[in-house]
Amino acid sequence: MALLPILRYPDPRLHKKAATVSVVDDSIRQLVRDMAETMYAAPGIGLAATQVDVHKRVIVIDVTEDKSSLLVLIDPEIVDRDGEQVCEEGCLSVPGIFDKVARSEHVRVRALGTDGESFELDANGLLAVCVQHEMDHLEGIVFVEHLSRLKQTRIRAKLEKQARITA
């Protein structure tokens, strides 16, 4: 097991597009274990491989209060969506920044599990938000890119200043 370092916005590596996995082998299962450990330690409710500088389509999520239900999505695709919800989002790659983003209320996702088998999942509410937030990461999109250009500029300046102080 290993804790992986999490990239911080505005790192350009957060904008890389992740590659399809197709074959779930032991190296992918090891990545999933390390990502789960990193997510729980952070703590966060989700983590995309992009955030740990691995550009493969792998996501871990656990939205339960007691951290009892790890969900692993490999090569996820949204096969259906409806409705709209607005949720206050945060991101482990954008520490200290929280803002409202509009997402679909419901998504149906098809993905591979750690056994390499395809399955489908219906997600609503916070789980649906988290799935969409993590799938954005795999496309190189950080949640702040859903905000106004003015907010993005301010957030970038704030995090660049923070990075200079902590460097």
Among 72, 109, 130, 135, binds ligand GNR (CB under 6 A): 130
- Our CB check for ligand GNR shows the closer of 116 and 152 to be 152
Q: Is 34 in the site for ligand GNR (CB under 6 A)?
A: no
3-state secondary structure of 74: strand
By the rule CB under 5 A, 91 interacts with Ni ion? yes
The option from ligand GNR, Ni ion, none interacting with 21 (CB < 5 to 8 A, set by class) reads none
The DSSP string of 3-54 is: PPPPP-TT-GGGGPPPBP--S--HHHHHHHHHHHHHHHHTT-SEEEGGGGT-
Nearer to ligand GNR, 12 or 117 (CB): 12
Contact between 4 and Ni ion by CB under 5 A: the answer reads no
Q: Which stretch binds ligand GNR (CB under 6 A): 23-31, 67-75, 77-85, 86-94?
A: 86-94
Which uninterrupted H or E stretch holds 72?
strand 71-82
- The Cα–Cα gap between 31 and 20 comes to 14
Kindly give the residue spans of alpha helices, DSSP state H, lying in 88-148: 125-138
Contact 9, 144 (CB under 8 A): yes
Nearest CB to Ni ion, comparing residues 73 and 91:
91
Output 14 or 28, the one with its CB closest to ligand GNR.
Answer: 14
Task: State both tokens at 119.
Answer: 């399955």
**Interface with ligand GNR, residue 133, by CB under 6 A:** yes
Kindly list the catalytic residues: 134
Cβ–Cβ < 8 Å for 22, 62: no
87 assigned ligand-binding residue: no
- Which residues are annotated as part of the binding site? 91, 133, 137
- By CB under 5 A, name the binding residues for Ni ion: 91
